[in-house]
């Protein structure tokens, strides 16, 4: 069986792709949904002066707004209807998952299966609405005061009508993106929310690379320095690919079994544990928790705002020591938290015991669960350290070199990770199509006989 699977995997080609009708429909749907997302990022909020907004945004270049703008695909810079992006939904999902681990009624919902998952998804949507309203109001108030003292107000007609219309528009944009992400996940290829974030980052990459070469043309940085940056980015991509494929394989042994009068030898297999079980979730979650409150605080503290708001935005600017420390702590926390969510050692040990499997030298049951938890904790330490290193070291180096965020570790990690996951799903669909074809052929041959 393994040999057949390997031969099928090697035969995955464009010829097989052309025959996979369902896969092509899913790919076209995904591409169409991402095109709609990009078009929405160019639809501006009503009542905004785009020229004044562009001037004001350039004044704060390199700050937290630039970093948030990276995740929204430039929508924040243009103050479009999806300026908040998908981040309120991610923040709400963080809260729901945390509460699902400590709040008993929600823990019970997680154990109810599909019905419980639907209820938790509803709570996530309600939380998204509340967060978007709160953040939309903060952005509306901040836009009204942003640049007013310098005579370059971004809002044409400030007042409650503008605030209410901004809240409603941003709420509609965020809820539309949430729905679009769910549609991509169910009817397309890959995780919809992750693909939307990746599409925003990829859309800004040409601008970032063009700006880098423009700095070289004007003499702001040297050509050799540009080569160092590009080589560093390629090295980070290669390192991410290596670590994402790294596994700890735990050997699993199945005993001999007798079926009728025949005795079957015991099978040997392995349980693969990824080094980075949490994937790209920790940096996205940590970024969302830091960026959204900071964005509102920066808008409200731009022009004559409270001293404490200005102090907060200054201390937590992208690249500042406190920001780096909180970002690293968030990545490490969510690496362990999300790993615990997606992999349950007790459940895995029970399943192994149920089907007669065991780890050589480890007693089935509670001892197996303890061993799996021990191994998982050790590899998660390495995985969390890897994520922290990839996200912070290039960001720190490039922050010192004044290089755009889009070439930093966080953006490259998201792009590479989501791309690898999407390609793996495409290969899975192609492999399933191959098996389906083989089964149909075998049925036809059997019928002829």
Tell me which residue of 51, 38, 118 sits closest to 85, measured CA to CA. 38
pLDDT of residue 259 exceeding 70: no
Res 237: pLDDT:
87
Percent of the chain with pLDDT over 70: 75
Of the two residues 386 and 110, the one the predictor is more confident about is: 386
Lowest mean pLDDT, pick from 104-118, 293-307, 376-390: 293-307
- Residue 413 parent element (H or E): helix 409-448
**What residue ranges define each of the domains in the chain, with the CATH number in brackets?**
21-444 (1.10.3370.10)
Of the two residues 198 and 49, the one the predictor is more confident about is: 198
Label the pairing between strands 262-264 and 257-259. Answer: antiparallel
pLDDT of residue 218 exceeding 90: no
pLDDT of residue 274 exceeding 70: yes
Percent of the chain with pLDDT over 90: 12
pLDDT of residue 290 exceeding 80: no
Dump pLDDT digits (tens) for 178-191: 999 999 988 988 88
Whether 334 contacts 282, CB under 8 Å: yes
Res 285: pLDDT:
82
Phi-psi domain of 113 (left: phi exceeds 0; alpha: psi -120 through 50; beta: other): left
Question: If you average pLDDT over residues 41-62, what whole number do you get?
Answer: 75
User: pLDDT grade, residue 86 (50/70/90)?
Assistant: confident
Question: If you average pLDDT over residues 349-367, what whole number do you get?
Answer: 82
Res 177: pLDDT:
92
Whether 83 contacts 76, CB under 8 Å: yes
Cα(148)–Cα(166) distance, rounded to whole angstroms?
Answer: 18
Question: If you average pLDDT over residues 361-384, what whole number do you get?
Answer: 88
pLDDT of residue 356 exceeding 80: no
Dump pLDDT digits (tens) for 303-313: 444 566 666 66
Lowest mean pLDDT, pick from 196-200, 305-309, 321-325, 428-432: 305-309
Question: If you average pLDDT over residues 414-435, what whole number do you get?
Answer: 81
The tokens describing 287, both together, are 């970024």
Of the two residues 444 and 390, the one the predictor is more confident about is: 390
The tokens describing 242, both together, are 């290596």
Cα(367)–Cα(346) distance, rounded to whole angstroms?
Answer: 10
pLDDT of residue 58 exceeding 60: yes
pLDDT of residue 3 exceeding 70: no
Tell me which residue of 210, 55, 83, 62 sits closest to 139, measured CA to CA. 83
Question: If you average pLDDT over residues 76-82, what whole number do you get?
Answer: 83
Res 5: pLDDT:
44
Question: If you average pLDDT over residues 129-154, what whole number do you get?
Answer: 77
What pTM was estimated for this model as a whole?
A: 0.78
pLDDT of residue 168 exceeding 90: yes
E strand segments, 25-77? none
Using DSSP, state whether 59 is helix, strand or coil.
helix
Query: What average pLDDT does the structure give for the chain?
Result: 78
User: pLDDT grade, residue 126 (50/70/90)?
Assistant: very high
Res 33: pLDDT:
92
Res 78: pLDDT:
81
pLDDT of residue 9 exceeding 50: no
pLDDT of residue 171 exceeding 90: yes
């Amino acid at each position: 069986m393994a040999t057949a699977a390997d031969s099928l995997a090697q035969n995955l080609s464009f010829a097989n792709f052309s025959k996979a009708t369902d896969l092509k429909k899913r790919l076209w749907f995904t591409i169409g949904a991402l095109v709609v997302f990009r078009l929405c990022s160019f639809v501006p909020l009503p009542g905004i002066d785009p020229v004044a907004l562009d001037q004001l945004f350039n004044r704060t270049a390199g700050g937290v707004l630039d970093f948030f703008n990276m995740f929204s695909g430039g929508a924040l810079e243009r103050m479009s209807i999806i300026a908040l992006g998908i981040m309120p939904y991610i923040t709400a999902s963080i809260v729901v998952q945390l509460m699902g681990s400590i709040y008993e009624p929600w823990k019970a919902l997680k154990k109810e299966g599909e019905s419980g998952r639907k209820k938790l998804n509803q709570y996530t949507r309600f939380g998204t609405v509340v967060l978007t309203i709160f953040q939309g109001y903060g952005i509306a108030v901040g836009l009204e005061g942003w640049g007013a003292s310098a005579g370059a107000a971004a809002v044409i007609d400030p007042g409650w009508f503008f605030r209410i219309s901004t809240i409603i528009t941003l709420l509609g944009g965020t809820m539309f993106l949430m729905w679009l992400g769910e549609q991509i996940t169910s009817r397309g290829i890959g995780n919809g929310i992750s693909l939307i974030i990746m599409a925003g980052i990829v859309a800004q990459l040409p601008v970032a690379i063009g700006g880098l070469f423009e700095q070289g043309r004007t003499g702001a940085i040297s050509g050799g320095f540009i080569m160092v940056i590009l080589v560093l980015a390629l090295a980070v991509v290669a390192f991410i690919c290596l670590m994402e494929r790294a596994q700890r394989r735990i050997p699993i042994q199945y005993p001999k079994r007798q079926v009728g009068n025949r005795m079957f030898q015991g099978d040997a297999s392995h349980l693969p544990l990824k080094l980075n079980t949490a994937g790209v979730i920790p940096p996205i979650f940590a970024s969302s928790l830091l960026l959204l409150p900071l964005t509102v605080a920066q808008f409200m503290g731009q022009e004559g705002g409270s001293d404490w708001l200005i102090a907060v935005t200054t201390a937590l600017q992208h690249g500042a020591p406190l920001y780096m420390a909180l970002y690293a702590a968030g990545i490490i926390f969510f690496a362990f938290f999300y790993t615990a969510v997606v992999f349950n050692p007790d459940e895995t040990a029970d399943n192994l015991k149920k089907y007669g499997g065991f780890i050589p030298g480890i007693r089935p049951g509670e001892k197996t669960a303890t061993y799996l938890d021990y191994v998982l904790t050790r590899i998660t330490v390495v995985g969390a350290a890897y994520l922290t290193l990839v996200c912070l070291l290039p960001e720190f180096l490039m922050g010192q070199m004044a290089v755009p965020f889009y070439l930093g570790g966080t953006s490259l990690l998201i792009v590479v990770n989501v791309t690898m996951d999407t390609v793996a799903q495409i290969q899975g669909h192609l492999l399933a199509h191959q098996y389906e074809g083989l089964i149909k052929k075998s049925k036809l041959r059997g019928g002829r006989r």
